[in-house]
Structure 1
Amino acid sequence: MGTRQETFSDFNIKFNALNENASFSSGDCMTGEISFVLSTITKLRSIEISLNGKAHVFWRTCTGSLRRRRIKNHSANKDVFNFRAVVLEENTAIGPTILQPGAHVYPFTCHLPEGNFPSTFHGIHGRVVYSLKVEIRRPWHLVKEFQVEFNYANHIDANQPKLLAPLSGSVGKMVCCLWCASGPVEMTVRIDRDGFVPGETITIMCEFSNASTRDATPTASLTQHQKYSTLTRSKKKIDLKTLDSVTGKPVKSGTLQAYSEMSLTIPDTSLSISNCSIIEVVYTVLVTLSIDWSTDISVTLPIVMCDLPVHTSPDTNVYQN
């Protein structure tokens, strides 16, 4: 006996890009094509599409001894949106649409719902996923389904006044040498704004005063905080991911005033998420001054990962095919 040939093959869903990131946002008009190849004459009742956005988290905790270990699962699901549209519909007076063998292409157009939805995210213990599903209905057949993910970006404009304001922080301590205080160590850290986009460089200006008898070394790091929680927020899980780090020039003992500049490069990473009840994504710049034979001092500055860089707007950020 020969191998049964599948009715559908080479199924593809193509999106027409609106920007260089191939992302979509609230209220965007999404256009594209659904294409497939038929091996035989096929009757279709309808072709429908659905846009779905879902957030999901999952992690495990272990308690007890090795002999009586208890493993507990923590999970949560949240629907972001669900939208349906019809691409091809059966004419009730004529009956099903009859398609001949060969390639078929169906363009589609739909508008994403308006709303404040979280950006696409794939993390260690959770994700925010947006997908387009195509459902093909035929007489006396199960529904044929095809699904593909698309990238959704919640517009965060770095040109907002609150994100253009500079950030700074200061910290200091007395350094003791046995029973005597050897002098204070102080550090002030500044960055020129709050909002950045992936690919940019963060310039960190530091001012030091080291009146102690110990040398000190500054380091800077860019950290992503992934925060997960259940629907009741009674259980939470936090994971930290260092995206970039750099070590500055040592600050010698007895230095009353020193200036240093360090740079961090932002890799291709997720946008900040603060509008989802079960997933939060936060970024910080952490500058630590490590003091020989003493505890460190540090300054943490929160930043926001945006999708629209400084001096641009949605109108000037359109991608031309």
Structure 2
Amino acid sequence: MPAIQSLTMVYDALNEDRTFSEGDPLTGKVTLALEKPTAIQSFFVKVKGDAQVRWTTRSGNHNHTHSARRRYFKLKHFFSEESATETVLPQGVHVYNFSFTLPSVSMPSSFRGTYGKIVYMLEAKLSRSWKVDKTVERVIVFHSKSFPNLQSLMLRQVAVKDKELGIFSSGKVHMEVTVDRTAYAPGETAMVVAKINNNSSSDMIPKVRLSQVIVYTASSSTKHENGTISKLVGHNIRPHSEEEVRWEVKIPTNMQPAIKNCEIISVDYYLKVYLDISFAFDPEVTFPVIIIPRNLASVGQPAVSGIGWGQQNSDFHAGAASAPFYPPSPNRYQGAQAYSVPPPTYPASFAGPPVANPGPWGDYAGTAPYGSPSSQPSPSHVPYPPPNPSTFPLQPSAPLAYPSAPATHTTPSAPPSYMSATNFLSQSDEPPPAYSLIFPSSTNEGSSEAK
């Protein structure tokens, strides 16, 4: 008859989604039922966070495996300390409570993809002499709250595009597109408005597409996974006419949060508005979209720690700028828990890596739309502190005026000016803005053991 009848574990939920974030308490209990007195060597519960990627490429007759792993933390709580002498537990049901405090440093949200995953795990383990270890595991869902100032992400985005048609068509197309904000929670709706002046000889169809771009990184190699989440099509616009098209782009309820604070996995989202014109290059504008957890979706949410904005080599002007801030992380917490590996370290200031010019990638194929996570910051990228919201009051009663001329990039010698709306003017055919400027990667390059 086996000595161990059952080993179970439960944890206490903090919200209806049963998610956790940086600095949250994690409590629960482990229940051990024994059929007879049992000698044990050690008994503990641990919580850990790990990211890993893995894929295989073929070169000639040889396969090459690319893999990388990051350990963010591991905490243990001992019910019975490891020792040379065994501890005998009596027959019956034994209940053990545990309590952890998750680290307050920036950590990526839970994620599972084709070539990698980010997993946060609770595990209880009972060890006995000459016996197989008895374990029980529970996956916890972690949603990072390391985002820029959410109030700045709730401002509208505006872009203007002018395109001269040639060869098979003649004339000019003017397109002005507005997106109501940048940050959305799963289940919310993005409002997109396009004002189109078709002063050409061609018909055209306006379209909008919400896309996801995932990049896996291992050493100097990357693996891209691109997908279209939704696509909406407007009605045909005749030559020499002007139309206003409105779309409501629904954010799926199962959308994973954006990830830019992980060295080996990034998850980005984009809204692309373009005009489908036969026998011509399609005019297009692209907006970054940041998917945030539902508990951060309120417009009035106070600022949370995250990666700051920096000036960027792009037609998209940066919003509110702030230097990076990372909360201090103690090496030990109250109670019996302790780090088994050093906590991750972060730079005091990082304005973001330089932006490469990968060329046109309207369908998100080929080169990544941002620099490598290991790229070094350019001296020309100067972070600025965010403005005080009270210094720049919004005027909801006043209509928003759209500039008719391209705006000039703010020089690094002075902080940029801020408006109640973020204007992206006269976009060229360059790629969309680099997410690495919004979420630069952590410098924690140390890999850890799996246990």
Separation of aligned partners in 1, 2:148 and 2:192 = 18
Which residue of structure 1 aligns with residue 232 of structure 2?
Answer: 246
Structure-2 separation of matches of 1:190 and 1:133: 48
TM-score, reference length from structure 2: 0.61
Check conservation: 1:48, 1:86, Cα contact below 8 A. yes
Does the 8 Å contact 1:50/1:84 carry over to 2?
yes
What is the match of residue 249 of structure 2? 264
Counterpart-to-counterpart distance in 1, 2:129 and 2:170:
87
Cα displacement (A) at 1:61: 2.2
Q: Offset at 1:224? A: 1.2
**1:74 partnered with 2:70:** no
Q: By how many angstroms is 1:194 displaced?
A: 1.1
For residues 79-158 of structure 1, the aligned pairs below 5 Å read: 79-89=71-81, 96-101=87-92, 103-156=93-146
Give the Cα–Cα distance (whole angstroms) in 2 for the partners of residues 163 and 9 of structure 1: 53
Deviations 1:239-273 (A, max 9, x none): 11222221122222111x31111111111121111
CA shift at 1:283, angstroms? 0.9
Distance 1:183 1:271 in 2: 42
1:148–1:283 CA distance, 2 compared to 1 (3 A): same
In the superposition, relative to structure 1, how do residues 132 and 237 fare at CA in structure 2: closer, same or farther (>3 Å)? same
Is the CA contact 1:159–1:310 (under 8 Å) kept in the aligned structure 2?
Answer: no
Distance 1:157 1:311 in 2: 14
- Note closer, same or farther for the CA distance 1:6–1:208 as it changes in structure 2 (3 Å cut): farther
Alignment size in residue pairs? 299
**Equivalent pair of 1:74/1:235 in contact (CA under 8 Å):** yes
- Cα displacement string for residues 122-158 of structure 1 (whole angstroms, at most 9, x for unaligned residues): 1121111110111113355443222221111111568
Match of 2:30 in 1: 34
Instruction: Rate the CA distance shift 1:21–1:156 in 2: closer, same or farther, 3 A.
Output: farther
| Alignment partner, residue 280 of structure 2 | 294
Native 8 Å contact 1:157 1:309 kept in 2: no
* Distance in 2, Cα, partners of 1:91 & 1:84: 16
Q: Which has the higher strand share?
A: 1
Structure 2: gaps spanning 5 or more residues: 303-451
- Give 2:381's aligned residue: none
Q: Within 5 A, what are the aligned runs for 1:176-195?
A: 176-178=166-168, 182-195=170-183
Residue from 210, 215, 224 that aligns with 1:227: 215
How far residue 8 of structure 1 moved from its aligned partner, in angstroms, is 3.4
TM-score, normalized by length of structure 1? 0.85
The amino acid across from 2:38 in the alignment is T
Whole-angstrom distance in 2 between the partners of 1:157 and 1:56:
22
The letter for the 1-side match of 2:193 is M
For the 8 Å contact 1:229–1:279, the answer to whether it is kept is: yes
Partner of residue 217 from structure 1, selected from 205, 208, 215: 205
**Equivalent residue, structure 2, for 1:50:** 46
- Tell me if the contact between 1:35 and 1:105 (Cα under 8 Å) persists in the aligned partners: yes
The 1-side partners of 2:84 and 2:57 are apart by: 55
Cα distance in structure 2, aligned partners of 1:98 and 1:22: 33
How much has 1:106 moved relative to structure 2? Answer: 2.4
Deviation, 1:185, is 1.5
Please report how far the alpha carbon of residue 9 of structure 1 lies from its aligned counterpart in structure 2 after TM superposition.
4.6
- Which residue type is aligned with residue 86 of structure 1? F
Q: Which amino acid letter does the alignment assign opposite residue 116 of structure 1? A: S
Q: Percent identity?
A: 28
Amino acid corresponding to residue 239 of structure 2 in structure 1: S
C-alpha distance in structure 1 between counterparts of 2:64 and 2:55, whole Å: 9
Any idea what SS the aligned residue of 1:211 has? strand
Per-residue CA distance 1:177-202 (angstroms, 9 max, x = gap): 54xx5211122221121111111111
Q: Aligned partner of 2:73: which letter?
A: F
Is 1:170–2:166 an aligned residue pair?
no
Q: Distance in 1 between matches of 2:82 and 2:281?
A: 73
| Change over 3 Å in CA distance of 1:45–1:71 after alignment to 2 | closer
